[in-house]
């Protein structure tokens, strides 16, 4: 018999259907068996009555264990006491496999245990909800760029020696050479932007930072648009439209999932353009005031990069994401365009998510002058020959251009209101955790 998915059940009320899935949980009351079945599309409670099913079926209902794979024939109908909730009257059941004792019981578990059993943890309601939101975010990201004239131009994951020179890279053997896993598609994006105008890349990136916090993965997905002829203001506008679109899509299509993870959506509903724009200089003042009022432990000095407590404090002053722009050039990557009015500042922007979720977007205008980029490469002690192709972009039709990168996992954590990014991807890679 043709398989029906649980999500499609409202269309099949009163008719006999076949559900193929797994036993999520089981309860019984004498001659009644309550079997919660999941099939990936949803969960439904099946009811087997001893007097209505075969002896074989009843004994199967009794012996079937949590997460056993089962094929069930039954008739769906509304719950007698709960409108809008559906149940399945079980007519017959075939056990595909009786599951061994399942480690994840319907009880609380610790982080270590759940992470060791991540391959099984994915079957739970909460993980389903989060990963469905992730899927919606990724679809929204693609739709946003695809519908706005951007071309997907993916960038390589194996990269040669030097890239940005800022963060720590993973080194891998590449035949007789050494290669590094990409920490950003940024530089290659500049080449494709010069070819296609508006581009984006979307893929995994790798950081070998020994960061062990709720915001860090060693492998994460980043989407990076790059726009030829764009200035800092253009990219800030793109950022706020982009984020607002994604949040809107999740609110529109993933209400149930947000409810499942107990996300208070009132904060998300406020995410509409424009976002507050703050110059770095003003951020310094706010942070120093915060310190004077005893709300921040350390006094922030002009010239430093924002630490995590600083970001949290700044974002807590606003309900929307905050765009902090014009950082000191010294704390940013070598390719940032200097502010013509104050060359010690870079034309860059970080978007800080509300509620303490930190930086979700980093970007800015890229330096377009050959001489300037060359100087910066030397100042940063980077090997010029590795950047010959990058310098070519400044020789052959150099234009102002700008772009940004958004870490998907941080966006998912923020939109879902999660404590930790480890739940935002099926198999998170973190410092000291490579399995499963």
Radius of gyration of the CA atoms of the chain, in A: 26
Q: Which is nearer to RNA, 99 or 399 (CB)?
A: 99
Binding segment for RNA among 74-82, 194-202, 282-290, 338-346 (CB under 7 A)? 74-82
Task: Answer yes or no: are the C-beta atoms of 389 and 191 closer than 8 Å.
Answer: yes
DSSP state of 7: G
**Per CB under 7 A, which of residues 409..428 are in contact with RNA?**
409-410, 419-422
How many residues contact RNA, by CB under 7 A? Answer: 75
Nearer to RNA, 85 or 195 (CB): 85
Of 241 and 253, nearer to RNA (C-beta) is 241
Task: Tell me if 126 contacts RNA by CB under 7 A.
Answer: no
Q: How far is the CB of 160 from RNA (least distance, A)?
A: 19
> Could you give the residue ranges of the DSSP H alpha helices within 254-292?
255-260, 266-269, 280-292
Contact of 403 with 363, CB cutoff 8 Å: yes
> Which residue is listed with tokens 């910066």?
376
Cβ proximity to RNA: between 196 and 390 the closer is 390
Residues 237-266 that bind RNA (CB under 7 A): none
* Residues in region 295-324 near RNA by CB under 7 A: 305, 307-309, 311
Adjacent-strand bridge partners of 279:
325
- Residue 41 or 166 with smaller CB distance to RNA: 166
Nearer to RNA, 154 or 197 (CB): 154
8 A C-beta contact, residue 283 and residue 274 = no
Q: Among 76, 358, 364, 403, indicate the residue that binds RNA (CB under 7 A).
A: 358
Q: Using the rule CB under 7 A, which residue among 331, 382, 386, 391 binds RNA?
A: 331
Return the range that interacts with RNA (CB under 7 A); candidates 207-215, 243-251, 278-286, 287-295: 207-215
Query: What single string gives the DSSP state of each residue in 104-168?
Result: S-SS---HHHHHHTHHHHTTSHHHHHHHHHHHHHHHHHHHHHHTTT-EE----SEE-S-SSSSS-
Secondary structure class of 195 (helix, strand, coil): helix
Q: Measured between alpha carbons, how far is 54 from 73 in angstroms, rounded to an integer?
A: 13
The distance of closest approach from Cβ of residue 336 to RNA in the complex, given in angstroms and rounded to an integer, is 11
What is the phi-psi region of residue 249: left when phi exceeds 0, alpha when psi lies from -120 to 50, beta otherwise?
Answer: alpha
Shortest Å, Cβ 76 to RNA: 12
Residue 216 found at the interface with RNA (CB under 7 A):
yes
Within 28-57, which residues bind RNA (CB under 7 A)?
A: 28-32, 34, 45, 47, 49-51
Q: Are 86 and 79 in contact (CB under 8 A)?
A: yes
The values of phi and psi at residue 144, to 5°, are -55, -50
The least CB distance from residue 243 to RNA, in Å, is 12
Per-residue contact track with RNA, 155 to 194, x per CB under 7 A?
A: -----------xxx---------------x----------
């Amino acid at each position: 018999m043709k398989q029906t998915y649980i999500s499609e059940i409202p269309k099949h009320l009163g008719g006999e259907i076949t559900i193929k899935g797994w036993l999520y949980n089981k309860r019984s009351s004498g001659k009644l068996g309550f079997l919660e079945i999941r099939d990936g599309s949803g969960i439904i409670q099946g009811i087997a009555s001893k007097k209505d099913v075969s002896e074989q079926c009843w004994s199967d209902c009794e012996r079937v264990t949590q997460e056993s794979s089962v094929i069930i024939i039954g008739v769906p109908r509304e719950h007698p006491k709960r409108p809008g909730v559906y149940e399945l009257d079980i007519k017959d059941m075939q056990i595909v496999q009786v599951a061994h004792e399942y480690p994840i019981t319907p009880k609380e578990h610790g982080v270590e245990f759940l992470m060791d059993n991540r391959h099984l943890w994915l079957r739970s309601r909460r993980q389903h909800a989060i990963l469905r939101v992730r899927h919606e975010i990724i679809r929204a990201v693609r739709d946003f760029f695809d519908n706005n004239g951007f071309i997907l131009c993916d960038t390589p994951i194996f990269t040669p020696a030097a890239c940005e020179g800022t963060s720590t890279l993973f080194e891998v053997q590449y035949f007789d050479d050494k290669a590094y896993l990409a920490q950003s598609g940024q530089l290659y994006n500049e080449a494709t932007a010069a070819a296609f105008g508006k581009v984006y890349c979307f893929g995994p990136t790798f950081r070998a930072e020994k960061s062990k916090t709720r915001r860090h993965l060693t492998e994460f997905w980043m989407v990076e648009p790059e726009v030829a002829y764009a200035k800092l203001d253009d990219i800030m506008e793109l950022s706020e439209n982009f984020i607002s679109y994604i949040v809107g899509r999740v609110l529109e299509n993933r209400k149930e999932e947000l409810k499942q993870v107990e996300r208070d959506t009132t904060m998300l509903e406020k995410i509409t353009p424009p976002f507050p724009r703050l110059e770095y200089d003003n951020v310094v003042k706010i942070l120093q005031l915060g310190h004077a009022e005893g709300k921040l432990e350390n006094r922030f000095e002009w010239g430093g990069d924002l630490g995590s407590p600083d970001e949290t404090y700044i974002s807590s002053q606003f309900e929307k994401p905050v765009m902090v722009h014009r950082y000191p050039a010294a704390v940013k990557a070598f390719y940032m365009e200097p502010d013509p009015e104050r060359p010690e500042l870079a034309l860059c922007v970080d978007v800080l998510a509300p509620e303490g979720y930190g930086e979700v977007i980093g970007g800015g205008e890229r330096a377009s002058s050959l001489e300037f980029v060359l100087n910066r490469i030397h100042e940063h002690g980077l090997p010029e020959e590795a950047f010959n192709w990058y310098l070519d972009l400044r020789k052959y039709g150099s234009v102002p251009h700008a772009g940004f990168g958004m870490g998907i996992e941080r966006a998912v954590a923020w939109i879902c209101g999660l404590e930790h990014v480890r739940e935002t991807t099926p198999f998170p890679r973190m410092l000291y955790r490579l399995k499963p």
